[in-house]
Structure 1
Amino acid sequence: MDPRSEVLLRQRELFAGRVLLAGPPADDLLGQLPEALTWNWHAGHQQRLQARFAGRNSYGTEVPEIEFDHAVLFLPKSRELTDYLLNALAARLHGGTLYLVGEKRAGIERAAKQLAAFGQPRKLDNARHCQLWQVQVNQAPKAPDLQALAQPFSLDLADGPLQVISLPGVFSHGRLDRGSALLLEHLDDIPHGRLLDFGCGAGIIGAVLKRRYPHSEVVMLDVDAFAVRSSRMTLAANGLDAEVISGDGIDAAPGQLAAIISNPPFHQGVHTHYQASETLIERAAQHLSPGGEMRLVANAFLRYPPLIEAHLGHCQTLANADGFRIYRARRG
């Protein structure tokens, strides 16, 4: 059981009735709170919860259109996303109760100060290296317009400017990260055919691929609903057409790919996880056509070449700069 869920269950009597759990982990909390419902934007958590507790889960970037008496927000990593989620929930809870739970290392005490906009915050519990806060929503805000919170920026590329639309919570919100910048310099000679941008984020790599290889089918995949929506907005801003799908890891990708191009994720919340990247490398061959290529950027300290060669083939280093490396390997 996630420690945040354990803290909630220490105050179980508060969460009777129809409580909306926003961004919960995929644990047994729904089994302990039989009337609770969830709203998730992580496709993996949604999939696992739906498999166990069918009909009690919603997925997307907007508060679901369902009835609930009170809500609990599991603190996300991004401050901008926290602000959007708190306001979106509070807008539906005039006179109701909003709870915030999170790890101390994730900044729960700082985030709890944001509750003061709705009423008088109160700390209810402090255990398992987590805190639980409560506020009676006496000052319900206007429902936030997520699209208005998007942060657009422009990239000056060799083939012309690219307009990028970034939503709160999306990786490298509002700017180009160093890894993607290096990868953009090494997108020549991509095989023609169906191309996958794995972990598409705000859609920068996928949009560039579609513009540079217009006759190739481009598929963009991310586990995060805000990233999926950002990618679609980026494509629209540049007049490009590609398929954007939501799914948990490479297993959600189509087959018969000519190439997989990725700046793979290695963070989940405040913790560092490499599972998605390692699983991508281990299973890439199952999704690539014979002769298909995987090209990815990774921190230089990660020992990916032996893993790539064990599961795909000879690993070539195309670039090594700014603490990142570009790797390329082809399926035999």
Structure 2
Amino acid sequence: MDPRSEVLLRQADLFQGSLLLAGLPADDLLGTLKAARGWCWHAGDQAALNARFSERSHFGVEAPEQPFEAAVLFLPKSRDLANYLLNALASRLAGRELYLVGEKRGGIEGAAKQLHAFGKPRKLDSARHCQLWQVTVEHPPVAQPLESLAERFELPLASGPLQIVSLPGVFSHGRLDRGTDLLLEHLDNLPVGRVLDFGCGAGVLGAALKRSYPQSQVTLLDVDAFAVAASRLTLAANGLQAEVICGDGIDAAPRDLDVILSNPPFHTGVHTNYQASENLLKKSAEHLRKGGEMRLVANSFLRYQPLIEGALGNCQVRAEGNGFRIYQATRG
């Protein structure tokens, strides 16, 4: 059981009614709180919850339409995303209870100050290196449309300026990260055909690929529903057409690909998690056609080259700079 869920269950009497659990972990919490429902935006967690608690977890970037009498937000890593989610929940809870739970290392004490906008918060519990806060929503806000919180910026590419639309919670929100910047400089001489942008974030690489290789069929894939929504906005802002998929890792990707391009993630919330990236490297041969190429950027300290060589039989460092390396390999 996730330690945040354990803290909730220490106060289980508070959570017996119609409750929405926003950003809940994929543990047994729904099995214990029988009247609760979930709201999830992580495709892997949603699949696990659906397998165990069918029809009890809503997936997407907006709160479910069904009414709820109280809500718990599991604090996300992003402060911008927390603002959006707290606003969305509080706008539906006039005179009722909103709870916030999170790890101390995740900044729960600072985040609890955000509850002052709705009423007078109080700390209910502190255990398992987590805290649980409660506020009665005396000042319900007007719900903010998600797109109104988008950050927009422009990339000067050789093919012309590319408009990027980023949403709260998306990797490198509102700016171009150094790894992707390096990879954008090395998109030349890629095979034309079926191309995957793995871990697409706001769609920077996928949009740049489609701009540079308009005849290619580009698929953008991310585990996070907010990233998928941002990628669709980025494509639309540039008049580009591509497939966008929300799925849990490389297993959700098409096969028989000509190119896999990625700035792969290695964090889940505040925790380091290499599983998605390592699965991508180990299973790349299953998704690439013969002669297909994988090109990715990663922090120089990550030992990805042996994994790529193990999967594809070859790997070279194409470029290096600012603490990042670009790896290139071809399926023989």
SS at match of 2:260: strand
Compute the displacement of 1:35 (Å): 1.0
CA–CA distance in 2 between the matches of 1:51 and 1:124?
Answer: 32
Aligned to 1:62: 62
The answer as to 2:166 corresponding to 1:166 is: yes
Q: Which ranges of 4 or more aligned residues in structure 1 deviate by more than 3 Å? A: none
Aligned to 1:88: 88
Compute the displacement of 1:8 (Å): 0.3
SS at match of 2:82: helix
CA–CA distance in 1 between the matches of 2:312 and 2:50?
Answer: 33
CA deviation string 1:189-217 (max 9, x = no partner) = 11111100000000000000001110110
Root-mean-square deviation (Å): 0.6
TM-score by length of 2: 0.99
Letter paired with 2:106 = A
CA–CA distance in 1 between the matches of 2:285 and 2:5?
Answer: 38
CA–CA distance in 2 between the matches of 1:65 and 1:313?
Answer: 50
Compute the displacement of 1:110 (Å): 0.3
SS at match of 1:261: strand
Letter paired with 1:148 = S
Letter paired with 2:31 = G
Letter paired with 2:174 = G
Letter paired with 1:147 = E
Aligned to 1:47: 47
Within 5 Å, give how 1:1-332 maps onto structure 2.
1-332=1-332
CA deviation string 1:97-133 (max 9, x = no partner) = 0000000000000000000110110000000000000
Paired residues, number: 332
CA–CA distance in 1 between the matches of 2:91 and 2:278?
Answer: 40
CA–CA distance in 2 between the matches of 1:309 and 1:145?
Answer: 46
CA–CA distance in 1 between the matches of 2:155 and 2:313?
Answer: 34
Letter paired with 1:37 = R
Unmatched 5+ stretches in structure 2: none
Compute the displacement of 1:175 (Å): 0.3
Letter paired with 1:72 = V
CA–CA distance in 2 between the matches of 1:47 and 1:23?
Answer: 14
SS at match of 1:314: coil
Compute the displacement of 1:58 (Å): 0.5
SS at match of 1:4: helix
Compute the displacement of 1:48 (Å): 0.4
